[in-house]
Structure 1
Amino acid sequence: MKKIKTILVTVMSVAFCTMSIESTQANENKLQFTPKLIQSKEKMDDSETDFKLKVKPNTDVSFSVDVTNESKEPIKMEAAIKDAATNNQGSINYASDKKVINDKVSLEKIADYHEEFELKSHEKKTLKVSFKTPKEPFDGIILGGLYIEQKPDEKSKEMIRNAFSYTVPVILVESEKNIDANLTFKSVTPELTGGRNALKVSLNNPVYNILPDAFYEVNVTKKGEDKSLYKDELKGMSFAPNSTFDHYILMGQDNYQAGDYTAHIKVSSDYGEWEWNEDFSIKSQTAKDLNEKSVSVKRMSTLMKVMIGLIILLILIIIIVITMMRRKLKKIEKIREIETGN
């Protein structure tokens, strides 16, 4: 198993995800504020898209970003430090809402920074993030980001409101020592995502470094059987450090079915290979509850239910009529037998 190079992996990974602009079908697909990184003494390079900071244990650290309102109208802003995690598509999100495995090396907890403010037209504000690094030394990196968002205008009469955000990746490096890669299995659970039926496969990366360029595949079968029920794969994915990767396998329009299953999971990379065959169960009540809440499960229309009900009612009426006619015929036959003396 190869050791992961701390600095090299960090630079490669950040280069592919330095900015995130989100818009809910914005009328103008344009960032209305401009962030500018300010050089600090801990910064390891002159990058204008991320903060890679060389730090020491139990030391005060700070970095700053200038934010300027480029629009003609005042805008409301929000900024916060968050931890990094790998999203469902296998890419690193540098401003995730997920909790890290060990919160002693959580950038969000260490920095504890959150601020809401308003910028007038063409006004500039300096966001300064100050914190103290953990007392205990660590090998690898602490990874997260400064998330800056322009909040939607609540007074707007538009049905669709614009929302823009920008993420500045933040990387703390103490030791440039190369470390062993590792992944561990966490769980497989039935869980709705976006209201749709899915199986959530969770893996942990307990190492304080990114595991890059990995190939991930999962295949779900009935326990003891070989037939594939659901499968998926991701190529060129990256596992964020000190985090849990949750991957949802969509089940289409299938109902959850109670029973025992096995998830066959494989991850391969230049830094190691991992394989798990993990059994899991779906309980009857769990399947029933999730199916009732799901928007992806095929359900009969009201008209179809009425038609089926009418058909069943018609069949019952026919059965009753036939039964009554048979009883009547039997009575007639008995009367005839008595009259004929037989």
Structure 2
Amino acid sequence: MRKNTLWTLFGILIVSLVWLTPFASASEFNFGVYTVIPDNQIDKQKSYFDLKMEPNQKQTLTIQLKNDTEEDVVIEPIIHSATTNINGVVEYGPTSAERDSSLPYELGDLIQTEKEITIPAKGSKDLQLNVTMPEEAFDGILAGGITLEEKKAASKNTEETTKGVSIENKYAYVVGIILQETDETVKQDLQLHDVKAGQVNARNVINATLQNPTATYLNRFEVDAKVTKKGKTEVLYKSEKQDMQMAPNSNFEYPISLNGEKFKSGTYTLHVKAKSSKESWEFEKDFTIKGEEVKQFNATDVSIEGPNYLAYLVGLLILLVAGLLLFIFYSKKKQKKQQEIN
């Protein structure tokens, strides 16, 4: 075995709002992370775990944690299967995404570790990951990671917490974990599921759920999506995106933006062309946008311009002034005629 410093690990910056004084500076990592690479590592140049294992095999992995500060540091490890986010990027840490129906095993069920570990001040501590592979053999890979985040103590000064808002920076290491048993190549597949109206960041979109039901990555993943009225050829909305990646046995909602337009009820057709570095796919699927969805989403889309009441008011004032001037003009003209008659 050898110890490999995690220079290639990325720290996830999680920004959270807390009620403190209005001044705050970004904190740094209070601990270091080192993986102990085992003999069954497929690529020993990698600093994450990329392991070849056997059915029902048990193995203990070690991550060394180092603390150079003057105080104890408490770490909360979380193990999670890889998912794909809305941007077509693979996430190895905890997310709100539900488990995909095609995922045979959740990584957190196969790997057990401590819920909390304390690294002593100016010291180090080994974190043990106990892996138990499934009894049944499988082709492909199981992908995920372990998130190592420092547990912060709650603020004791409750009076000061109401004086202002500051930004507290929390950092976490994510160590990737990939498990496989065979070298068999898994044929890639892609499926289109639900297509429906929705919103992203309070803006109207049409969400198309794309699923990778296979135990392999879809690399260099591209999507070309168009929306038409059912039975028509005119493209109403479209979206193209390249250089994405899908995690094994995962899904995500691919958004097609309406670019500030309002939803209109009716039946539409989604046309999708997608490809990875090895395969390509085409789909067509009809979907319906209902009246209640139109009302709900159009009312909350921040990019849709509402009625310009100021313009209406200015127009009304112009009409009133014009009407008043006409009234004065004809009144004076009528008065002049009466004076001429008299």
* TM bracket, shorter-chain basis: 0.7 to 0.9
Partners in 2 of 1:182 and 1:292 — Cα distance? 38
- Residue 79 (1) aligns with residue 70 (2): no
Kept in 2, the 8 Å contact 1:104–1:134? The answer is: no
1:68 maps to what in 2? 66
Q: 1:221 to 1:209 in 2, by over 3 A?
A: same
- Please, which of 250, 255, 258 is the counterpart of residue 262 of structure 2? 255
Q: What secondary structure does 2:200 align onto?
A: coil
Alpha-carbon separation, structure 2, partners of 1:138 and 1:184: 21
Q: Distance in 2 between matches of 1:305 and 1:75?
A: 60
- After superposition, where does 1:115-134 map in structure 2 within 5 Å? 115-134=115-134
Superposition deviation, residue 142 in structure 1 = 0.5
The answer on 1:21 being equivalent to 2:9 is no
8 Å Cα contact 1:38/1:64 also seen in 2? yes
Query: How far is the alpha carbon of 1:174 from its aligned partner?
Result: 0.2
Question: CA distance change for structure 1 residues 239 and 283 in 2, over 3 Å: closer, same or farther?
Answer: same
Question: Which residues of 2 match residues 143-182 of structure 1 at below 5 A?
Answer: 143-151=143-151, 154-155=154-155, 159-182=166-189
Once the two structures are TM-superposed, the CA of residue 209 in structure 1 deviates from its matched residue by: 0.7
RMSD of aligned residue pairs (Cα, Å): 3.1
In the alignment, residue 135 of structure 2 is paired with which amino acid? K
Closer, same or farther: CA 55–121 of 1 in aligned 2, 3 Å: same
The 3 A distance-change label for structure 1 pair 131 and 269 is closer
Number of the residue aligned with 2:41: 43
CA distance in 2, matches of 1:270, 1:304: 54
Could you tell me the TM-score, scaled by structure 1's length? 0.76
Which segment drifts farther, 244-253 or 171-180? Answer: 244-253
Cα–Cα, structure 1 residues 279 and 65, in superposed 2: closer, same or farther, change >3 Å? Answer: same
Q: Is the 8 A contact 2:15 2:169 kept in 1?
A: yes
Q: 2:214 aligns with which of 207, 210, 214?
A: 207
Can you list the C-alpha shifts for 1:90-136, whole angstroms capped at 9, x where unaligned?
Answer: 22222252213334322133325572345454343322221321122
Tell me the TM-score normalized by structure 2.
0.76
Q: Distance in 2 between matches of 1:73 and 1:47?
A: 33
> What do residues 189-226 of structure 1 show as CA deviations (whole Å, max 9, x unaligned)?
22222333222111111111112123221112222222
SS class of match (2:15): coil
Rounded Cα–Cα distance in structure 2 between residues aligned with 1:112 and 1:256? 47
Q: Quick one: percent identity of the two aligned structures?
A: 27
How many positions carry a matched residue from both structures? 297
C-alpha distance in 2 between matches for 1:71 and 1:143: 33
- SS of 2:104 mapped into structure 1: helix
Gaps of 5+ in 2: 1-7, 17-23, 324-342
Deviation at 1:87, TM superposition (A): 2.2
Superimposed CA distance per residue, residues 268-294 of structure 1 (whole angstroms, 9 cap, x where no aligned partner): 234211001111111111222233344
Q: Read off the aligned partner of 1:269 and give its amino acid letter.
A: S
Cα distance, 1:75 vs. partner?
4.3
Contact 1:103 1:109 in 2 (8 A): no
How does 1:1-342 map onto structure 2 within 5 Å? 18-24=9-15, 27-28=25-26, 30-47=28-45, 49-97=47-95, 98=97, 99-111=99-111, 115-151=115-151, 154-155=154-155, 159-300=166-307, 304=310, 307=313
Separation in 2 of the partners of 1:154 and 1:194? 30
Which ranges in structure 1 are unaligned for 5 or more consecutive residues? Answer: 1-16, 319-342
- The separation in 2 between residues aligned to 1:183 and 1:231, in whole angstroms, is 20
